[in-house]
Amino acid sequence: MTVNKMTAAQVARKVIENKELFILDVRNTDAYEDWKIEGHKFDYLNIPYFNLLDGVEEIIDKIPADKEVLVVCAKEGSSLMVAEMISDAGRDAFYLEGGMKSWSMYLEPIKVGELANGGELYQFVRLGKGCLSYMAISEGEAAIIDAVRFTDVFTNFAEEKGVEIKHVFDTHLHADHISGGRHIAEQTGAAYYLPPKDAEEVVYEYTPLTEGLTVTLGASQIEVGALYSPGHTIGSTSFVIDSQYLLTGDILFIDSIGRPDLAGLAEDWVSDLRETLYTRYRELAEDLVVLPAHFMIIEELNEDGTVAKRLGDLFAENHGLNIEDEAEFRKTVTDNLPPQPNAYQQIRQVNMGKITPHNDELTEMEIGPNRCAVR
């Protein structure tokens, strides 16, 4: 029997294409229960590595012979050894190259749709972290929104498409992942935009992202229009692109709404959150396609792997948009906050430019699931 590696990109295609996979996760149970690889048709077995040091004989009957088997650990080494044991026991097995560390970092670019006069909009899906970034392209120019820290993914994609990155936006000061926005801007000479109400402590230059700001992209005049939408942070700003797409940042998700507490101001910002969701967004066209900055559960992915849904459908289906009583809304939001994201205070410091940890430290800060939503 053979042992082969499976890359994060290959696992991502199995998620998006709704393929079957059996995952033997050999991390400690608490790590597995906190965060695992999610797939529509994935089956799981969690047996910590230290329970397998004497061999896999006791679990081999639990491993299916009719499915691809992927062994997963934190960084790769343990999963390779267990996969070799399974192979020695007469079964084929894969190990995840780079472990959960590589899964957390992988981005899958997927085309969302067409823009005016041949333009295109792409969503970069970070399946292992739930982050969603965007690139709008029009006539040789590109704008990027909510880029994660893996800047090469965006600059290489722009190069492949033959476009120049002219504008880079963050919808808000992120607290659950490290932004790559200003670094892409530095590399490319693009303008970097950040809401000034979120930028009071930043130590770098930026272009204020304010209500009503419209940035044209290419000769086709695709408008990237800014809509002030506080509630997740005091500066949170949404975008309407080409009168077709509403990029909501971390204010509105497909299955939930944004949490207002990552700067320690939940009680203060709940009313802002309600104002945005129940008044400002209600004034928008219901045919706008909502594109959030995160997703929480695998069921939020569409068949093509994108995370997107009509605003009107969310008004009908999203529980967070259908709590008429304001006191009940406030209670629902404040009583259903998940644990704070790992290292969120340090991540905010990084995104302000106040600290510059090395790459391994950045990876450790981001390990774990997305926690930007109200449960």
Secondary structure class of 129 (helix, strand, coil): coil
Q: Which of 11, 73, 226, 311 is catalytic?
A: 73
Q: Report residue 94: phi and psi, to 5°.
A: -110, 155
**Residue for token pair 């998700």:** 253
Q: Which residues are within 8 A (CB) of 59 and not within 5 positions of it... i.e. 6 or more apart?
A: 24, 45, 47, 52
Helix or strand (DSSP H, E) at 215: strand 214-217
CB 82 within 8 A of CB 56: yes
Q: Is the distance from CB of 188 to CB of 165 less than 8 angstroms?
A: yes
Q: Which domains does the chain have, with CATH numbers?
A: 3-102 (3.40.250.10), 107-366 (3.60.15.10)
Cβ atoms < 10 Å from Cβ of 202:
16
> What does DSSP assign to residue 277?
I
Q: Output the pLDDT for position 150.
A: 95
195, 236 in Cβ contact below 8 A?
yes
In what order do the strands lie in the sheet containing 120-126? 108-114, 120-126, 131-138, 141-145, 164-169, 191-194, 207-208
DSSP 28-48: -HHHHHH-----TEEEEEE--
The pLDDT of residue 375 is 64
Pair 133, 146: CB distance under 8 Å: yes
- Residue 117 burial (CB count, 10 A): 13
Q: Can you give the pLDDT at residue 345?
A: 87
Which tokens is 362 given? 């950045």
- Are the C-beta atoms of 76 and 98 separated by less than 8 Å? yes
Q: Rounded CA gap, 150 and 153, in Å?
A: 6
Q: Which amino acid is at 342?
A: N
Running along the chain, 375 residues long, what does each successive block of 10 average in pLDDT?
A: 89 95 97 93 96 92 94 95 94 95 94 92 95 96 97 97 97 93 97 96 95 88 89 91 95 91 66 93 97 93 96 96 92 79 85 92 82 73
What pLDDT is stored for residue 1 in this prediction? Answer: 66
pLDDT at 334: 81
372 is catalytic: no
Distance CA 78, CA 62 (A): 19
Which sign does the torsion angle of CA 231, 129, 44, 307 carry? positive
Q: How many CA within 13 A on the CB side of residue 286?
A: 7
pTM above 0.85, yes or no: yes
C-alpha distances out from residue 307 to 157, 278, 293, Å: 20, 22, 9
